[in-house]
Amino acid sequence: MSVGHVARGFEEAGIPTVSVFVRAFRHVAEVMKLPRTVITQHPMGRPLGGPGDPQRQRTVIEAALGLFDSATAGGTVVEIGDTWRPGAVNP
């Protein structure tokens, strides 16, 4: 919820935002009508990817940044289908 309020506040103040949520909180992004949201299939507390998994982390960030160029209306939600995978043991 916290980031939802932050996203709405910045967007209303003229700063475009994109938020990365884990799947467990997709409904929060939807009921709060956030401007742009990327959803990952990751466990809570691990929104961008596993520790020591820079490839997945980059994929998620690029998907989020891409919404700045592609989204045409508020409430845009894009779900990344890649399932969770553990990162390297010693990142």
Partner 1 sequence: MTDIESDAAETLEEFKNSFSYGARSDLTFKFLKSLSPEDAGEFFRQLLGEVGRSLDHGEVGPIHQLVFDWQVRGYEKSGRSHEYDTAPFVAPAKPVSASKVGVLTSSGHFPAWDDPNPFGIENMTQVEAEARISEFMRDTPALSAIPIDIDSGDLRVRHGGYDVRSVSRDPEVAFPLQTLIALEAEGVIGELSSPMYSFTGATSQGRLRRQALPGWIDRLKGDGIDVLLLVPV
Residues lying near partner 1 in the complex (CB under 8 A) are found at 1-21, 23-25, 27-28, 31-35, 41-52, 54, 57-58, 61-62, 64-66, 68-69, 71-75, 83-87, 91
Q: Any idea which residue has 């399932």 for tokens?
A: 83
Shortest Å, Cβ 80 to partner 1? 14
**DSSP string of 37-53, one letter each residue:** EEEEE--TT-SS--TT-
Shortest Å, Cβ 79 to partner 1? 12
What φ, ψ does residue 16 adopt, rounded to 5°? -65, 140
Shortest Å, Cβ 70 to partner 1? 10
By C-beta, is 57 or 78 nearer to partner 1?
57
